[in-house]
Chains A and B, each alone.
Chain A
Amino acid sequence: SQTIHQWPATLVQPVGSPLSLECTVEGTSNPNLYWYRQAAGRGLQLLFYSVGIGQISSEVPQNLSASRPQDRQFILSSKKLLLSDSGFYLCAWSVLTGDFRLNTEAFFGQGTRLTVV
């Protein structure tokens, strides 16, 4: 069965420090991978998505970046964190189905609660 691992679960970082959040998926190949951010009491904001190794699409210009060094690994990074980067970060994956390559259910990781102080 497929599983998604995201770590760490919680993180407290000072302003200006770097960030690296990692997400890995097991049990599937060539998944679509996503990073979402959820501010307190708010909706799911798409940050990045990837349809293949080295292919990253950015939805929101900011001081974050993403990389996909391996098929089932997705990394979210920042060189210098801002206070506004605080939030709940969620990694997700989905696969395509059928002849028409339709999207299917997205499965979310447990999330990382980041507090920038």
Chain B
Amino acid sequence: GENVEQHPSTLSVQEGDSAVIKCTYSDSASNYFPWYKQELGKRPQLIIDIRSNVGEKKDQRIAVTLNKTAKHFSLHITETQPEDSAVYFCAADLSGNTPLVFGKGTRLSVIA
């Protein structure tokens, strides 16, 4: 089955700096790669996603890049703000009838 590795497990950045979280996946047939943000005590919520036919997607301060050849994808957050502090999960999905496989999460702390 699919396996998703996520790094780093914790990340601290100064407010205004950029943050990058990286994930690798094992199954080259995976075609959907969402990123979720989970604030303390709350449910994970989608912040951005990308499909395998696209190399990069951007939404304001958040961007995701995908390298299908290397089987890795990354989340980029620019101009970080204290409210970006949360746990971020990457995930990969093989097909409609298989479940999302999540990475172990990255705890991002933005220091004011």
Interface residue ranges, A against B (CB under 8 Å): 32, 34, 36, 41-44, 46, 49, 51, 57, 59, 90, 94, 96, 100-106, 108-111
Contact = CB atoms under 8 A, between A and B. Distances in A.
B99 A46 contact: yes
Contacts of A44: 44, 89, 102, 105
A108 B43 contact: yes
Contact of B51 (A36, A49, A102, A108): A102
Interface residues of B, number: 24
B87 to A, nearest CB: 9
Contacts, number: 61
Interface in B54-112: 89, 93, 95-105, 107
Main SS of chain B's interface residues? Answer: loop
B96 A101 contact: yes
Interface of B: 31-32, 34, 42-46, 49, 51, 89, 93, 95-105, 107
Given A101-B96, A102-B51, A42 B104 contact: yes
